[in-house]
Amino acid sequence: MERESFENEEVAAILNDAFIPVKVDREERPDIDRIYMNFVQATTGSGGWPLNVFVTPDLEPVFGGTYWPGPRSNKTSFEDQVDFLGILNKLSTVWRDQEERCRQDAAQILQRLKDFAAEGTFGDKLGEGGDGLDIELLEETTAHFASTFDSVNGGFGSAPKFPTPSKLSFLLRLSLYPEVVRDIVGASECQKARNMAITTLRKMARGGIRDHIGQGFARYSVTPDWSLPHFEKMLYDNAQLLHAYLDGFLISNDAELLGVVYDIATYLTTTLANPEGGFYSSEDADSFYKAGDAEKREGAFYVWTKREFENILGPHSEPILSAFFNVSSHGNVAPENDAHDEFIDQNVLAIVSNPPALASTFGIKEEEVVKIIKEGKVALRAHRERMRVRPGLDDKIVVSWNGIAIGALARAAAAINAFDSTKSEKLFASALKAATFIKENLYDENTKVLYRIWREGRGDTQGFADDYAFLIEGLIDLYEATFDEKWLKWADELQQSQIKLFYDASGSGAFFSTQSSAPHVILRLKDGMDSSEPSTNGTTASNLYRLSSSLGDETYAKKAKETVGGFESEMLQYPWLFASFMPSIVAGHLGLRSVVLGESADVEAQNFAKELRGGLGTIVRLDNAATWLRERNSYMNNLALDGQTQVLICENGVCRQETAVSSDQPAQAMDLGVMGTVLPKLENDSGSSAGGPANVSTPGAESTKPL
């Protein structure tokens, strides 16, 4: 619409004459986006972006929709579809002739939206909900995901297909819950859940949705087989996928998945990294193919012709890389997926073969194939960086998305530290730098309030509930990776602020997305369902249980239960839309397993770094530096004071001591398989070999020989 309508002089004339145009950055004000998206979905039956809404001077919505064709659009429209110019002419006339009726209708619609927003809660009184949310909901959620699983291509549903990290996280962790959960869901179903997630991770890693020459993943795939992405790369997608691929690796010990962990971590800490700390928001899908071009094209930075492969790689290497990446002279994008003829003769790289098969086809040794592919990727990347125009970078630093990245990098750093301390230190440094940047630049120490955006200075918008939720989660992960209690202390401070600013203490519990004092807000909503990001309330409930376990604060556990209960009605009907709540449902019934490490428990700390925790359990360390933690958690006041190595397992307020591993014994070995041969050969962070081990995937294999 930008090109078709907003750059059109006829459209601009009526917009400026009859309306007051306001452009809202939905990343800076997601609350406003949610409110009016609810309106459009309620009145039209569907939603999406671009979102266009006409409102009264009191911000009450009159009419809205998504895409309307411009005056000279070449896109096919429905028979009765009015173009944007027609919409503007009609609305300006109706407002001029029937303004009072428009205002009355808008007020009525807004009231219905408010009523609808309040309907989902179980009861009118705080604390009434939650008792009906049994562990059986995990079984129902698993069954639904299995019914929508694409067993051929991985993922869920049909095109467009999104990575859905919240679903993958739920499926990967299902078998790690206490035995009672596994008994209810079923051991075979837990194994199937794991297989669904691992299959999806592998299929995405080999598909066109992944940038095989650089790093990172695009937002979603236009096709069911992940072959043609919408090329925009988002911080929140890649940060969540780092969590998911790390979980997948820790469960499967698959070198291919570890390679993707390195790949995403490199992307976050190089391309999206702000030199002063924190991570930028996204890279655009469109770009100029080369300097001097007049028009941008989607994916221009990422696609290749067969001729380019021949010129860059030469006659010896080109056939092998073309076979590996599915490159053909006529391109590999089907015409039905190329409505604007942007991909004629172009190829989106996706891995469709493997070194053993290529060695057999071309009559050379497998080691030679691996060498050719590695060197070819380096040459392609060098050409791309030299000749292509990189997509635009959205250099906003958004607190919520940075919180996800901080946690993912901290967990990855801790997990790989035992076998790659150099890379681990880089990831730790990036996570710590980001957390420090946010605390110094986007947090008011006096008021204990977060600000949401940094771009050439701090923005005026105060943080929303999701900023607090995802940053708290990231800080808990950062503490559990470093055992530096200042991060846990800050998470505690932020949790208290989030409760003060967003908690619905007079209604049905749970957290509003906005503060009551937020400007330009006509409706306060509660974010319950998972979407492109996990649910704010689902994440917050998990945070509250984790903090309650670590800090011995029962008020947090009570708030967590009330938060879950606030969505009982919806969860009983559609539990699969609330996957991020499932750890809290389990915690509400069974409590959390908390591990308390004493002085010198280094071996145990390394072993626990390889476990999936999150909403499954917590870990704290009581050494001589843990003064604040001892004060905050009175139960820990007298634990581990003798300087001896201690490991305490605490569940439901009862602790037992486990035998500590001697400090002269190695940490529990992780079977690295073929990774052992590649770790000494890791490339630098420039990404010249795609950022880490396991850069060649083997379709259909359980693990893969790394490049």
Question: Is 499 part of a structural domain of the chain?
Answer: no
Rounded Cα gap, residues 476 and 56, in angstroms: 43
The beta strand positions in 104-242, using DSSP E, are 220-221, 229-230, 233-234
Question: Is 74 part of a structural domain of the chain?
Answer: yes
Question: Is 328 part of a structural domain of the chain?
Answer: yes
Q: Which amino acid is residue 133, in one-letter code? A: L
Residue 279 contacts residue 401 (beta carbons within 8 Å): yes
Burial of residue 43 (CB within 10 Å: 0-12, 13-18, 19+) is middle
Question: What is the CA angle 138-141-147, rounded to 5?
Answer: 140
pLDDT at position 555 is 96
Rounded Cα gap, residues 541 and 550, in angstroms: 14
Give the residue among 662, 647, 658, 706 at the shortest CA–CA distance from 680: 706
Tokens for 76?
Answer: 């096919």
- Domain boundary, last residue among 390, 414, 446: 390
Rounded Cα gap, residues 182 and 656, in angstroms: 24
Rounded Cα gap, residues 551 and 485, in angstroms: 11
Question: Is 552 part of a structural domain of the chain?
Answer: no
- Looking up tokens 């060098």 gives 382
Give the residue among 210, 215, 262, 236 at the shortest CA–CA distance from 474: 236
Question: Is 565 part of a structural domain of the chain?
Answer: no
Tell me phi and psi for residue 687, to 5 degrees: 80, 20
Cα 323 to the center of its chain, rounded Å: 32
pLDDT at position 124 is 43
Tokens for 137?
Answer: 């909901």
The full length of the chain comes to 707
Beta-bridged to residue 443, according to DSSP, are: 450
CA atoms within 13 A on the CB side of 629: 28
Rounded Cα gap, residues 190 and 611, in angstroms: 17
Q: What is the DSSP string of 421-487?
A: HHHHHHHHHHHHHHHHHHHHHSEETTTTEEB-EESSSB-SPBP-HHHHHHHHHHHHHHHHHH--HHH
- Domain boundary, last residue among 390, 424, 456: 390
Tally of CB atoms within 10 A around 408: 27
CA dihedral 474, 477, 478, 481 (to 10 degrees): -160
Tens of pLDDT, residue by residue over 453-508, are 999 999 999 999 999 999 999 999 999 999 999 999 999 999 999 999 999 998 88
Question: Is 144 part of a structural domain of the chain?
Answer: no
pLDDT at position 519 is 83
Question: Is 374 part of a structural domain of the chain?
Answer: yes
pLDDT at position 582 is 96
Give the residue among 233, 214, 244, 241 at the shortest CA–CA distance from 349: 214
Tokens for 478?
Answer: 């950062």
Residue 459 contacts residue 28 (beta carbons within 8 Å): yes
Q: Is the peptide bond before 680 cis (omega within 30 degrees of 0)?
A: no
Cα Rg of the chain (Å, integer): 26
Residue 645 contacts residue 598 (beta carbons within 8 Å): yes
Burial of residue 258 (CB within 10 Å: 0-12, 13-18, 19+) is buried
pLDDT at position 697 is 45
Give the residue among 369, 381, 328, 382 at the shortest CA–CA distance from 350: 328
Residue 22 domain boundaries = 2-119
Question: Is 86 part of a structural domain of the chain?
Answer: yes
Q: Which amino acid is residue 606, in one-letter code? A: Q
The ranges of the chain with pLDDT < 50 are: 76, 121-124, 661-706
**How many domains does the chain divide into?**
2
Beta-bridged to residue 61, according to DSSP, are: 55
- Domain boundary, last residue among 119, 137, 166: 119
pLDDT at position 198 is 98
Residue 539 contacts residue 510 (beta carbons within 8 Å): no
Tokens for 474?
Answer: 């990231």
User: With the C-alpha atoms ordered 160, 164, 168, 174, is the resulting torsion angle positive or negative?
Assistant: negative
